[in-house]
Structure 1
Amino acid sequence: MTLRNDATTRELVTWGLLNASRIGILLVLFMPLVVTSSTLFPFIVGKAIYARIMIEVTFGAWVVLVLVAPEHRPKRSWILIAFGVWLVASIIAGYAGVSLQRSLWSTYERMQGIVDLAHWAGFVLVAGSVFRSVNDWKWLLSINLGVSLFASILGLGQNFDIFESNLLGTDARIESTLGNATYIGAYTMVNIFVAVALIALSWRQSKSPTPAQDATPAATSRAARRRRKRSSRLQSQTAQFDWIPFARAFWITAIVIELWTLWLTETRGALIGLGAGAVGFAAVYSIWGKIEQIRKASYVIMGLVIAVLLLFILARATSILDPVIERSTTLSRVATIGPNDESLKGRVTSITAGLKGYVEKPIFGWGPENYLIAWGKHFDAESGVQERFDQAHNKLVEELTTKGAVGLITYL
């Protein structure tokens, strides 16, 4: 009786700690919605503090979980190993850099640094440990998609004067709860890809062959494993609710609204990234993909992107499309991309200064979050650029300058 009670108690404690860890990870995903008007940089400081507190509490619960139930310890993962090596390289670069304090804590304006990176390493460790199955990750990513969808709706609402709040930014471009149109552009771009991946995954699972259709020895063993995993579901198939159509509707809705939001952010880099990513995926899938419908969609995507590229070249070379471009601020911004674009000039100047800084400190760099110091020393004052760059606006150059060759290699 005592042994049975002990086992039951252990199961209850494990269940509680596991779900507490999962809830903590999910709560971190709501960070983009946090805005603290009472702090410096209200769109940044509050988010960082909220995320760090949630990660620390969740990590504490997870540590107790793996002590009580060792089966929930993280499995060996090259992603975790790579993240850990990058974190160690960042720490070494911080100690070898020009300002350890700045490397550790960053600034109120950025709230990054080694301390922040260590928190996100803990987040990845716990998430990979308590969310293990494909269905677990589908739920996790769908909730994250829901948060980004809500942020997009808030931004659209203010853009069309449905409601007004300083907590959603003050620029003509959509800023929403991130306070920066560029951030919203990148955020929606990533989540569009996430939604597309979830749709493709659900389609692939629905099109996978049944055991009777696939009789090869290897497939038979896979089929046997699938039968064992799905036995309980198959036994109650008639009574089970099919949520896939509703999930797909949600994912498609998210894609449409976030594409709309991305367009209204007028973020050229995110739009170019979306097109490049779509073409890359479409090209790979058109060669090695197995689902015919997705392959056909890949051809359509490549055709559309090529058509947009040709239109861009036409707009740059002639004035035929000027009446259309003038009606859209997004198209106007995209059409100005070129050597004379002030934003591009600033970034080129920043990257040049960063590369000069790398040459001076090539092994471990200037230290995380010390890019401003390297930029200030090597900035070309005669370039005419007025903007101050505390970041490179190019992740590879940022890593190379602040963490040297060691940091860039471990990052890649």
Structure 2
Amino acid sequence: MVRNMSQNTINTALRWIILTGIFIIPFVPLIVSPSMFFPFITGKNFTFRILVEIVFAVWLVLMYRDASYRPKFSWMFAAIAGFIGVMTFADLFGENPIKSIWSNFERMEGLVALLHLGAYAIVAGTTLRTEYLWGVFAHTSLGASLIVGSYAALQLVGSVATHQGSRLDATLGNASYLAVYMLFHIFIAAFLWARQAERPWAKWVYAPIILFETFILYHTATRGTILGLLGGTLVAALLVSIFGRDTPRVRKIAVGFIAAVVLIVGSFLAVKDAQFVKDSPVLSRFASISLEERTTQSRFIIWGMAFEGFKEHPILGWGQENFNIVFNKFFKPVLYKQEPWFDRAHNVFLDWLTAGGALGLLSYLSLFGAALWVIWRVGALSVVERSILTGLLAAYFAHNFFVFDNIVSYILFFSFLGYMTSVGHRVRAAETDATIIEPPSHVASSIVASIVIASLMFSIYFINIRGVLAAQTLLRAISQQETVDGNFALFKKATSYHYATQEVREQLLRFASDVGRANIPQETKNEILTYAVNEMAKQIQIQPNDTRLLLFYGSFMDQLGQREQAIELLTEARRTSPGKQLVWIGLGNTYLNQGDYETMIEVFREGYELETTNQRMHLAYAIGAIYADRRDIEKELLTEDFETYYIWRDAVVNAYASQKRFPELVAIWEKRVSAQPDNAQYNLSLGAAYAQNGEFRKAIGQIQKTIELNPDFKETGEYYISELRAGRLP
């Protein structure tokens, strides 16, 4: 008996440790780590991972000691295990297994994140074993959401700054991340309200929370999530109206809600061109939705590219974190106006389709299917509760069509899956005959605990502490230090952690590029440049098909004057992304710097013909024509339609100057002065162009005008005038 009491005491202590860790997790969204690279991402992820590793380790010991905590088969558990299993194979045999497993600081997803999320869902599902505990957990998460929402409200009134533009982002750093966070908690509050509907205070607590968080969601101006909220609530209301025969009052409210939503949407469509709509930052975004909108068109194109990637690897896909390879390989030149380095399809389903192939997408969808099975066939829930949870899934499903997940939405989704696992676990336990299992011996328990503790310490350091140190060191490395040597030492330290190596080495390359132009001792410069070259060569070996790396590295080698190696790298970049004109520009510029004008013109021509409306490509081709003295091409490209763009590009000025094309220089500076007559620098540059073109009298007039605009220039200007009057160029 004494032994059993001791066993129970230990088991209770282990259970409380797990519960404490689980109940801390809802506060992870509050974490911002300004001392780390990507402060809105890294701090949250590392905290979540450490908490999960601790509770999972303790759960392993508890599960060994008490069989009742061992997971029992349910379709929800099978779906979670199947999804993670499929993605494990996809990641291990994908395009870049290392990146698929570890991801990077910007996203912190990959297989490591997926394993932690799965472990969290299973531990929560087998440890929170009663509806009461899940209710407390839901209220805890709702309380945390009110803190986040209050921060967003302070941003709305201007007391606290937003972090990305004018849209609310609170402690999440991104408006769409905040939007989906609010979306989940709106439905959580509705679910809790339904559970407490008979209590008179319920409506005075949950209704204001729902209204407040809907208000915050609206002001994120995240269209996909707001549409998801409308769709999810309509689904919930429709289900109540169909199946809620036992709750006629709620059923009438649901029907009225459906009618109200239809009326509101119809009214908005009728007045979408009104001035008050145009003046609203949120409503104007909805009014602009159309198939012709640039964002809509680009999304459709990117979705098509994702499907092309799926067709190339249809079974297990490319592995997580490799959408950038797909994006670059199937890049359409018409997307040149968009951000050039997409790493997500902005559609969760296509993301899983490209990452895990057909098996990956089907296993992901099985999470929704298993959850619906639990909601409608297993759980002892009321019709209203089932409808609200189904509405939540529908809203999240719709949201996922337009954006991508992040750690906060993942935590909420896998918390939901944990709840579904718990329901299935309880039903399965009730159906299974209770079997008394003799508790393990003290020695056996001690051995298991020792192994688990040792594994926990290893995982916390290897998976998390290294990453924390690398993120902190990298941020310091890219910040201003007292000396260049100080920054260099930090970069070497950051690379030594072998964590998020692509981001570390990209930042190192930028640092080295700046160093190459800096006025520092040549010995120091050579050491830094050599180190950067060697590190980037290592990264290229890991990611040989990464267009971004090849382009950055090739451009860097061009800067160093290593033209043959630069051409080799940039040619490879072109192979990995034949439709990206940015790569063609880089390759053409390298041939220009090498003096191979014939090849340069051919590269620029082929790149230009991919998409002739790209002004940047147009300009590069025109400048190449100037250097190559191909006036036929130059005349064709530098037309009046293009004039308002090219006359303001200093690269064109430099090209004409290098070729001593002074009449063309005069024409450009005359147009700039005509547009900005009070710009002293433009007037002086026009005077210089006149002088170089032999028009000394005009040059003197422009210098006198410059002196009028800038009296501080008088002494120098008068010297120039005296030289010109003497017939000499100053």
Global fold match (TM > 0.5): yes
1:121 is aligned to 2:118 = yes
TM-fit CA distance, 1:170: 4.7
The question of whether the paired residues in 1 share the 8 Å contact of 2:142 and 2:185 is answered with yes
Counterpart CA distance in 2 for 1:172 and 1:67 is: 52
* 1:63-110 Cα shifts (integer Å, max 9, x gaps): 111122222223322111101000010011112211001110111110
Alignment CA distance shift 1:274-1:92 (3 Å): same
Match of 1:282 among 217, 232, 237: 237
Counterpart CA distance in 1 for 2:183 and 2:291 is: 25
Match of 2:227 among 252, 268, 272: 272
Report what 2:278 is aligned to. 326
1:313 is aligned to 2:307 = no
SS of the equivalent of 1:392 reads: coil
Match of 1:58 among 39, 52, 55: 55
The question of whether the paired residues in 2 share the 8 Å contact of 1:315 and 1:335 is answered with no
The question of whether the paired residues in 2 share the 8 Å contact of 1:43 and 1:177 is answered with yes
**Match runs of 1:3-402 below 5 Å:** 3=1, 5-162=2-159, 164=160, 169-203=163-197, 206=198, 245=200, 249-289=204-244, 290-316=246-272, 319=273, 322-387=274-339, 388-402=341-355
TM-fit CA distance, 1:246: 5.1
The question of whether the paired residues in 2 share the 8 Å contact of 1:366 and 1:402 is answered with yes
Alignment CA distance shift 1:351-1:170 (3 Å): closer
SS of the equivalent of 1:171 reads: coil
Amino acid at match of 1:189: L
Counterpart CA distance in 2 for 1:378 and 1:409 is: 24
TM-fit CA distance, 1:146: 1.1
TM-fit CA distance, 1:184: 0.6
4+ aligned runs moved over 6 Å, structure 1: none
Alignment CA distance shift 1:65-1:247 (3 Å): farther
Counterpart CA distance in 2 for 1:382 and 1:169 is: 30
Alignment CA distance shift 1:363-1:25 (3 Å): same
Alignment CA distance shift 1:246-1:58 (3 Å): farther
* 1:20-55 Cα shifts (integer Å, max 9, x gaps): 111111111211111000111100011110000000
Amino acid at match of 1:201: R
Counterpart CA distance in 2 for 1:202 and 1:293 is: 16
Amino acid at match of 2:218: W
Counterpart CA distance in 1 for 2:194 and 2:267 is: 29
The question of whether the paired residues in 2 share the 8 Å contact of 1:153 and 1:257 is answered with no
The question of whether the paired residues in 2 share the 8 Å contact of 1:350 and 1:389 is answered with no
SS of the equivalent of 1:132 reads: coil
1:407 is aligned to 2:360 = yes
Counterpart CA distance in 2 for 1:245 and 1:21 is: 34
TM-fit CA distance, 1:152: 0.7
The question of whether the paired residues in 1 share the 8 Å contact of 2:101 and 2:111 is answered with yes
Alignment CA distance shift 1:408-1:155 (3 Å): same
The question of whether the paired residues in 2 share the 8 Å contact of 1:282 and 1:298 is answered with yes
TM-fit CA distance, 1:245: 5.0
The question of whether the paired residues in 2 share the 8 Å contact of 1:195 and 1:255 is answered with yes
TM-fit CA distance, 1:249: 3.6
Counterpart CA distance in 2 for 1:293 and 1:101 is: 56
Amino acid at match of 1:399: W
Counterpart CA distance in 1 for 2:145 and 2:342 is: 28
Counterpart CA distance in 2 for 1:406 and 1:270 is: 27
Give ranges in structure 2 of 5+ residues lacking alignment: 366-730
Counterpart CA distance in 2 for 1:185 and 1:15 is: 38
Amino acid at match of 2:228: G
Amino acid at match of 2:311: V
SS of the equivalent of 1:367 reads: coil
SS of the equivalent of 1:29 reads: helix
The question of whether the paired residues in 1 share the 8 Å contact of 2:164 and 2:174 is answered with no
TM-fit CA distance, 1:247: 5.6
Counterpart CA distance in 1 for 2:202 and 2:325 is: 48
Q: Which of the two has higher C-alpha Rg?
A: 2
TM-score (norm 1): 0.85
Amino acid at match of 2:143: G
Counterpart CA distance in 2 for 1:325 and 1:135 is: 45
TM-fit CA distance, 1:132: 1.7
Counterpart CA distance in 2 for 1:152 and 1:93 is: 37
Amino acid at match of 2:213: E
Amino acid at match of 2:73: R
Counterpart CA distance in 2 for 1:293 and 1:14 is: 46
Counterpart CA distance in 2 for 1:327 and 1:83 is: 46
The question of whether the paired residues in 1 share the 8 Å contact of 2:196 and 2:202 is answered with no
TM-fit CA distance, 1:254: 2.0
The question of whether the paired residues in 2 share the 8 Å contact of 1:345 and 1:385 is answered with no
TM-fit CA distance, 1:359: 0.9
Counterpart CA distance in 2 for 1:18 and 1:245 is: 34
Counterpart CA distance in 2 for 1:157 and 1:177 is: 12
Amino acid at match of 1:394: N
Amino acid at match of 1:191: H
Counterpart CA distance in 2 for 1:75 and 1:280 is: 31
Alignment CA distance shift 1:38-1:55 (3 Å): same
* 1:118-139 Cα shifts (integer Å, max 9, x gaps): 0000000100011122221111
